[in-house]
Structure 1
């Protein structure tokens, strides 16, 4: 592309506080601008532009759109005074519900809504962290409540920004915003080019807004010639060789409604001629975030007229600051129920007053009313309460009540949260799951969160995605990192690059929080874990899922020696170890000469599932032969999993009977060899290798299988056995490793001798010929799993080990000091 990118930002600066005004002219202005908003939605839906419009709306206005009284007043105004019959028809056709229209346009990607402060006032003038949080969280909560939508971008009204506000954006998972281009061009260090977005110290991307262009559209009777000339001058000033310049075109909604047709002609022409092409902010971030300039930003604004309005009502602004600071102080105090109600109303008065003052025509009398109410509420917090007056005041302005309460709860939770923080490193985690390790980490992290920990998990990026991604859900933060030298084919070098990326991400996260401990899952993340343990000076606990010695029955090759040494380094440097079975405990103690006191045995877990929730849809119809019994197996296609033994047993059984079929799921280096065995022995009709299964596919096979076989020659634990027992399926397992601690022969499952195909044949035939016994064994297995292997129980045990390790580390530190 030789041109630039562009975005269109439409800003609805509606004076929403006029809705509560007793001044007829102020109220009429509010109605007229609401009609402009209806006009905007109507034409956006009708014209279906070829680009997504970035839309800015004062969040409180969204609440007003839901008020029945508002809808009736707009209907009356449209019927009596508005000249556009088409708009009235549209309003009635949409059942007077603009929220429904807006939600639909957002879902169709015709509009992308930006977050903004709840009162649409200037965050740069807020004096406390509580004030900033209230404005931001309340604004985002309103959008979420009324539109089921969480913005990724944020708009600072009038472009007013001050350093540090980007930290609050990051905390709310907001990824981009906009600043006056002059501010970006004078950042430290200077950006590498003009017209490009930059990244702030807190990893928020800021797109440049050209103030000259913003001001052009505010000129009365602006001509198409004027903006065409201005846009072309800007486009020609950008460096098209970088292909990263982006023209962010802001326009107030009332101006957009006037010039919409001509402006769209300009956009179509410039797009058709290759001068610019539309790009959404999220797409821009995906394409260019890797090499983006990191800069320090100074204060910024777009419209200097706002300062004059602030000077006119300076006394009210001073009072607003005192109100905010009083709210901040009361938030540090434990209040009873009545006092909490007063505090909530005080916050509402503060929000309403700040909204009024930042409108160009805020009324002094109304401002005085808010201040009088705030003074009363302050006295009530220190003395007796007039509950009748308080009830009247709460209902006088029927907005913000629920939102403030919800936001209060969020802030209180944030301020009172005292969760211990665990940093967990694992190379496997969905969607990158190869074996049981990834499944284990999913269950463990979820149960740790339920048991009071805040978990920060760093794992390998989904290789189908281009950039790092972060997820947050109820105290679990997942960071997927791209390994340095990610295209490296040498596995050892690739793992080295992954550890470097994990270390870098952990150091970045630790700038904003303190971790209590690190947990490493196997040697693959050991290098990063050992480095972070020393750097953060916190305890390290390693979970050993398997060992190279155990997998191979010894150490023979150079590769095995390398892995074995990495395992030794991690095991001896860790302050504590977790293994999944007594078998693994004995193996670690013997092979690595570790004292038993250092090791905790905590089994893997499994989630219980309701059979009625399992869909058979993911299974191909070719696998569902009602005349055949399905024998199911799953695992990595490696020698120690024993699938060679299973295939040999299948060959022997299929010579004698045709009422069975074998379905084997998994991927790995032995896959092709096993497939050749099937073809060579003409077993393809009854034996199928089906590759990797997604979770719902796996559950569907478990739900439909008649027998599950786990024929491993080496199995530290055997999470597949737990998964099959959850479904009450009779399960045959090798009498080896951790599997010996799960099954009681002929009661909760059946044992087979490892590497013995004849013995496996006998067990399968026993279950096929005794279906009632098999059913009873399956039910007994299910009871065992639900009692001993629930993730909730395992999470409690792990939390106990974590807590003891943290306490031990603190005691050790205090003694050394």
Structure 2
């Protein structure tokens, strides 16, 4: 026998705002709707059929049920209508007007579960800021907790209106499941393995399908539900029951449910008795099938068609709501006094009421809508005047609901920014000890600098493929998350990078449920896809540091691979709010190659740890097979063509006959074997030693031992290696190219040589060898230069300036 699961969902948009109207006739609208609610509770209490009903109403209504005004006037209203509603009147009296206690008992007896929703039953896609969405969701949850002691796990989107990204807010609020139109699930990406099953969204929210035809039948006032059994069985016949996890959602509006409950119970009893369906709770479904639920990307969805005429007719009201919402976000981002927070609380009330009215705006609501807007604007004006406290108290007493707002607003700030630090999400494919080039070293120094500038840094980077993923608090203010690429075994580098970006994105989405990040900083194209996507998902600004370009490395774009990387660089640059480069040379390159606005680019040089590096023991390099007494010329870097080490090896050939001069070349890279072969072929073993990878201690010991450092690059955006040698006060020869020429002043702070010019390089090496006193003076001047311009403290200040400027510009855009 084919069978499926089913769940019953009842929803209602109960009008709550008329309760606060001075017009008694308007207040009656709330009481009429409340009679239906009383009837609903009465029917559930009497229910003998074993299935649980999930209830979705505006959470604010549970708070209204506690108001003395509501209880008093509801009693008077029922008393006047007792001939029309005798059972409801008697039930109200029997329950001593304590409907929330009745709800608690129904929950305890497994007849009822509660779904949270936007606090005023507003359609969330109409909300335009993070502050507004969080306020709607979190206030609703806090009311359920404070009034009923209920921790909701499910969420109902009014009118079924959903947009991608809203699941992130549910996840952050601790919610686990929701509902969406089945057609949206069927056309998700990728499509689920089975039709009629629940799916998991990108942010791990379980979405149950609401079948369109069944929903239409259940909520059509002209439909008598005669063919309900047939409709459900026909749905079941479409589903693949191999895994037996298809689920039917019986979703009805509350008054429709009340009217047809007997018929509904009859049909469901037959279907359960015959083995077609079994009732299941969302939590049990999740527990039972968690391993088999498909994870998909969901598009926008709705159950009720959008009333475009309303939007056109009342467009100015929607615009006013958006303005108030954005102003709220601006003010809530500030640290306000307790008095100012009282004003914010009242503005939040007015805005929440307004959004509730606009979800089903009608002409009769016009005056209430206008009153909410006017009141909110008047409250904003209080920030600029000496306001009357008594007037504020009067407003608080006029709407004695939403008591959790002040606590919710202030406590949320304490939770996300309890240490007063802004949270930076930093993405880098390399970070010590996994260092390939200068990028990893730069990121390590930058992290140290940022935490000293009072930022909290969350760094996502790649893990060594031989190790497991790892989350660790490195030190106060620095959290490092090492993720394994999705395809960590992949040999194709482009595919490997793609898998890394997927893993980075996934990790950040999990972190976003715990932290509210203020900004993303991405380092080079290797983390670009994740950075661009996260910028949109989290709605926070993106700053990218471009360390080098593919065009610059190769002197142009000539291959398919180079074009791919070039395009990724362009995408990242265009998506970024601001760009950081390390030199004037790089600014010119990014401007010309990518046609980027110059004002978008900030020059912040690379930094170096300025510490006393002279107290280093030579024991670290005693095992290296060369005479330490010789005059050592040291060069290091990644062994690639653009670093120019081929020129250095040719220069070394001219010192074969000089037994006192010895060249040490350190580093790894694709040119290692070719350089090794060159040394052997030209009998340079007594003149040049190729070390391969050097540990930090050995590298520093060699810098101390060396007499001269050489950086012969063809292309060098900045040259952090130059700073390292200058820190040791070593006379340093650098190519007159890229960022290097911006660091060194010829024969004052270093020595410049033409890139690729062997004779010129030999000439400058010999100059330093022949003029030891002048060489030492050049080395000392180089050290002073680094201390003044390239210490991390100064670079931290420059970086902070860019960060704060971008975050401020972003806030201004939201307000405007």
Tell me the alpha carbon deviations over residues 26-75 of structure 1, each in whole angstroms, 9 at most, x when there is no partner: 43332222111111111211224301111112111111100111112111
1:29 corresponds to which residue? Answer: 29
Distance in 2 (alpha carbons) for counterparts of 1:318 and 1:392? 28
In the alignment, what sits opposite 2:580?
A: none
The residue aligned with 2:270 is: 269
Q: Matches of 1:278 and 1:98 in 2, distance apart? A: 26
Q: Secondary structure at the match of 2:117?
A: coil
Report the 3-state secondary structure (helix = DSSP H, G, I; strand = E; otherwise coil) of the residue aligned with 2:195.
coil
- 3-state DSSP class of the match of 1:367? helix
Q: 1:515 to 1:174 in 2, by over 3 A?
A: closer
Matches within 5 A, 1:124-203: 124-203=125-204
2:304: which partner in 1? Answer: 303
Tell me, in whole angstroms, the C-alpha distance in 1 between the residues paired with 2:339 and 2:42: 46
C-alpha separation in 2, matches of 1:375 and 1:357? 17
| SS state at 2:278 partner | strand
1:212 positional shift: 2.3
Aligned to 1:348: 349
Return the alpha-carbon distance in structure 2 between the equivalents of residues 337 and 81 of structure 1: 45
Deviations 1:168-208 (A, max 9, x none): 11111111000011111111111112100111111111011
Q: Name the structure 2 match of 1:316.
A: 317
Q: Taking structure 2 as the reference length, what is the TM-score of the superposition?
A: 0.52
Once the two structures are superposed, the pairs formed by residues 322-721 of structure 1 within 5 Å of their partners are: 322-361=323-362, 363-400=365-402, 402-418=403-419, 509-513=507-511
Q: 1:162 offset after TM fit, Å? A: 0.7
Contact 1:117 1:135 in 2 (8 A): yes
Shift of 1:111: 0.7
SS for the counterpart of 2:96 is: coil
Q: Distance in 2 between matches of 1:381 and 1:234?
A: 58
Instruction: Give the corresponding residue for 2:250.
Output: 249
Within 2, Cα distance between the matches of 1:202 and 1:228? Answer: 35
Asked if structure 2 preserves the Cα contact closer than 8 Å seen for 1:420 and 1:515, the reply is: no
Q: 1:217 to 1:515 in 2, by over 3 A?
A: closer
Q: Matched residue of 1:374: which SS?
A: helix
1:2 aligned counterpart, secondary structure? coil
Shift in Å at residue 369 of structure 1? Answer: 1.0
Match of 1:390, SS state, is: helix
> Which 10-residue stretch deviates more, 198-207 or 339-348?
339-348
Who is 2:17 aligned against? 17
2:338 and 2:23 mapped to 1: Cα distance?
37
Shift of 1:24: 5.5
SS at match of 2:90: helix
**Cα distance in 2 for residues equivalent to 1:328 and 1:420:** 16
Structure exhibiting the larger radius of gyration computed from Cα positions: 2
Contact (CA 8 Å) 1:18, 1:30: kept in 2 or not? yes
**4+ residue runs over 6 A deviation:** 504-507
**8 Å Cα contact 2:203/2:509 also seen in 1:** no
Answer with 105-114 or 139-148: which moved more: 105-114
Flag the 1:507–1:372 CA change in 2: closer, same or farther, 3 A.
closer
**2:57 aligned with 1:57, yes or no?**
yes
Paired positions, count: 452
Structure 1 residues 128 and 515: alpha-carbon distance in aligned structure 2, compared to 1, 3 A threshold: closer
Q: How does 1:757-768 map to 2 (within 5 A)?
A: none
Contact 2:9 2:53 in 1 (8 A): yes
| CA positional deviation for 1:237 | 1.8
Q: State the Cα distance separating 1:122 from its structure 2 match.
A: 0.9
Separation in 1 of the partners of 2:92 and 2:513? 54
C-alpha separation in 1, matches of 2:356 and 2:422: 39
- In the alignment, is the contact (CA less than 8 A) between 1:49 and 1:110 conserved in 2? no
Paired with 1:72 and 1:64, the residues of 2 have a C-alpha distance of: 12
SS in 1 for 2:178: strand
- Answer whether contact 1:64 1:70 (CA < 8 A) is retained: yes
The answer on 1:233 being equivalent to 2:234 is yes
SS of the counterpart of 1:225?
A: coil
Tell me which residue corresponds to 1:495.
Answer: none
SS at match of 1:513: helix
SS of the residue corresponding to residue 295 of structure 2 reads coil
SS in 1 for 2:91: helix
Give the superposition deviation at 1:511. Answer: 4.6
Pair 25,382 (structure 1): closer, same or farther in 2 beyond 3 Å: same
Question: How many Å apart are 1:81 and its aligned residue?
Answer: 0.9
The answer to whether 1:210 aligns with 2:211 is: yes
The alignment partner of 1:263 has SS state of helix
Name stretches of at least 5 consecutive residues in structure 1 with no aligned partner.
Answer: 422-452, 456-503, 517-809
Counterpart secondary structure, 1:182: helix
Rounded Cα–Cα distance in structure 2 between residues aligned with 1:120 and 1:32? 18
Deviating more after overlay: 304-313 vs 252-261: 304-313
What SS is found at the alignment partner of 1:217? helix
Return the alpha-carbon distance in structure 1 between the equivalents of residues 336 and 181 of structure 2.
Answer: 43
Residue 127 of structure 1 and its aligned partner are, at CA, apart by 0.8
> What do residues 221-250 of structure 1 show as CA deviations (whole Å, max 9, x unaligned)?
421214333323222222222311100111
Pairwise CA distance, 1:78: 1.6
Question: Partners of 2:60 and 2:393 in 1: how far apart?
Answer: 21
Equivalent in the alignment of 1:533? none
Which residue pairs with 1:43 in the alignment?
A: 43
Supply the distance in 2 between the matched residues of 1:307 and 1:268 (Cα, whole angstroms): 41
Offset of residue 14 of structure 1: 1.2
C-alpha change, 1:19 and 1:212, in structure 2 (3 Å) is farther
Quote how far apart the aligned CAs of 1:254 are.
0.4
**Alpha carbons of structure 1 residues 513 and 257: separation in structure 2 relative to 1, 3 Å:** closer
Q: How far did 1:316 drift?
A: 0.8
Alpha-carbon spacing, 1:288–1:71, altered in 2? closer, same or farther (3 Å): same
Note the alpha carbon deviations across 1:428-456, whole angstroms, 9 max, x for none. Answer: xxxxxxxxxxxxxxxxxxxxxxxxx999x
Q: How far 1:86 sits from its partner (Å)?
A: 2.6
Measured against aligned partners, the alpha-carbon deviations of 1:242-299 in whole angstroms (never above 9, x if no partner) come to: 3111001110000000000000101000111111111100011011111211111111
Q: Distance in 1 between matches of 2:222 and 2:38?
A: 22
1:106: which partner in 2? 107
Change (3 A) 1:12 1:389: same
Give the root-mean-square deviation of aligned CA atoms.
3.6
Deviation at 1:166, TM superposition (A): 0.5
- Please state whether the residue corresponding to 2:159 is helix, strand or coil: helix
**In structure 1, the residue corresponding to 2:155 is in which secondary structure?**
coil
Q: Which residue of 2 aligns with 1:681?
A: none
Moved more, 376-385 or 4-13: 376-385
CA distance in 2, matches of 1:32, 1:514: 43
Provide closer, same or farther for how the CA distance between residues 201 and 157 of structure 1 changes in structure 2, counting only shifts above 3 A.
same
Distance 1:454 1:410 in 2: 22
Which secondary structure does the structure 2 equivalent of 1:243 belong to?
coil
CA distances 1:557-588 after superposition (whole Å, capped 9, x unpaired)? xxxxxxxxxxxxxxxxxxxxxxxxxxxxxxxx
Counterpart residue number, 1:604: none
Q: Distance in 2 between matches of 1:339 and 1:79?
A: 43
Residue 31 of structure 2 contacts residue 77 of structure 2 at CA under 8 Å; is this kept in 1? yes
Given that 1:11 and 1:253 are in contact with CA atoms closer than 8 Å, whether structure 2 keeps it comes out as yes
TM-score, normalising length: structure 1: 0.52
8 Å contact 2:172–2:512 — kept in the other structure?
Answer: no
Distance 1:206 1:158, change over 3 A: same
Q: Contact 2:168–2:513 at 8 Å: present in 1 too?
A: no
CA shift, 1:412, in A, is 1.3
- In structure 1, the residue matched to 2:75 is 75
